[in-house]
Amino acid sequence: MAKTPSNSGQPWTPGDTRALRKLADENTPTRVMALKLKRTPTAVQSKAVELGVSLKPVNQSPYNRRK
């Protein structure tokens, strides 16, 4: 079984939410965010939805089209 992160089940602090917003602005993948915030990827996704933060990468073209 996978090891649970140290912040699992703990409330989000204002610093955690600031870090989540900053990482999302930098197009950091959700799994990497989870590791840095010591949360599960599901918890990161849930908090992002709650805050209205998009986790979709904005600097990548869809379907990796080449011109």
Can you tell me the distance from the alpha carbon of 54 to that of 60, in angstroms, rounded to the nearest whole number?
14
The answer to whether residues 32 and 65 touch, using CB atoms and an 8 Å cutoff, is no
Q: Are 55 and 41 in contact (CB under 8 A)?
A: no
pTM of the model: 0.78
Q: Interior CA angle at 60 toward 55 and 62, to 5°?
A: 95
Domain residue ranges in the chain: 14-54
Report how far residue 60's alpha carbon sits from residue 3's, in angstroms, rounded to the nearest whole number.
32
- pLDDT (tens digit, 0 to 9) for every residue of the chain, 67 residues total? 567 777 777 899 999 999 999 999 888 899 999 999 999 999 999 999 999 999 887 766 555 555 5
